[in-house]
Amino acid sequence: MPLIVVSSPKGGVGKTTLVANLGVALARQGRQVTLIDFDVQNALQLHFGLALKNRSGYVARAVETADWRRNIVAVADGIRLLPYGTADAAQRRALENALVADGAGFLRNHLGAILAERDGIILADTAPGPTPALEALETLADLRIALLLSDATSLALLPRVLEAEQPARRDRRPPQLILNQIDLRRRLNRDVAAFVRQRAAAALLGTVRQDESLAEAVAQQESVFAYAAHAGAAQDIATIAQRLDRMLFPDHETVPRANTGHN
């Protein structure tokens, strides 16, 4: 099962919301999607109707539990979620220490059964910036996606994203980039987006326009496709999902699912 790691060098870019809705978009295309939350904020579950008081997740017993599949929750048709869960400082530190010691090996052991599944896609949502989890995930990833805003700070970070160290895997695709929350009314947003299209066209997987429907959908604890399927951001994310699907499965057609529930 292909592992896609979504990261950002800085916070506040809408990464978790993008991951949740990208997962829904891929499921709507007929893919089996497994979402894994590697962010201590444990917010990925909020997009699927699970309250913050929900304590289930893998981190509390990450080191002791050999197979993290037991913590997976089915949250929608075609979508499974492995929540970060509730964990104290000692439990979080134990996971981080294991990742520092042998990150890729540790994840391969605990996620091996999921990675070995033949059908579907895994989307990993990571905490902002460099972390032991991100370093380990990037070693295992089939595709890495960096999320940036169309602003001056993100533009300054662009070289770092595009020149990220490439682990030694010949089948590795180069990092992909998504520009999020583009407000076409703002000149700087337009200029940055145009610059990225010109200088990094091969790496640009897509753009998502600024759309209040995304935030409103989170408030309703559902995807933008359930809340406002015709919203501009929903169309943008669906387009990215189609490109991603063709990139990962160029010879494999799927049957779209009925648009029910979170899908």
51-87 pLDDT, tens digit per residue, is 766 778 999 999 999 899 999 999 988 999 999 999 9
> Which residue ranges form the domains of the chain, and what is each CATH number?
3-248 (3.40.50.300)
Amino acid occupying residue 163: E
pLDDT value at residue 118: 82
Q: Residue 160: is its pLDDT beyond 90? A: no
pLDDT value at residue 259: 59
Please state the φ and ψ torsions of residue 82, each to the nearest 5 degrees: -105, 95
Cα–Cα distance for residue pair 178/50, rounded to 1 Å: 27
- Say if residues 177 and 204 touch (Cβ distance below 8 Å): yes
pLDDT band at 105 (very low <50, low <70, confident <90, very high): very high
Query: Would you call 147 helix, strand, or coil by DSSP?
Result: strand
pLDDT band at 260 (very low <50, low <70, confident <90, very high): very low
Which residue carries 């947003």 as its tokens?
A: 189
For residue range 221-237, what is the model confidence (pLDDT) as tens digits? 999 999 999 999 999 99
Instruction: Taking the CA atoms of 85, 224, 150 and 29 in sequence, report the sign of the dihedral they define.
Output: positive
pLDDT value at residue 173: 76
Percent of the chain whose pLDDT exceeds 90: 73
Report the mean per-residue pLDDT for the chain: 90
pLDDT band at 212 (very low <50, low <70, confident <90, very high): very high
pLDDT value at residue 162: 79
DSSP for residue 220: T
For residue range 161-182, what is the model confidence (pLDDT) as tens digits? 877 655 545 556 788 999 999 9
Cα–Cα distance for residue pair 181/69, rounded to 1 Å: 33
Task: Give the predicted TM-score (pTM) of the model.
Answer: 0.92
Q: Which residues contact 107 (CB under 8 A, 6 or more apart)?
A: 99, 136, 137, 140
Start-to-end C-alpha separation, the chain:
21
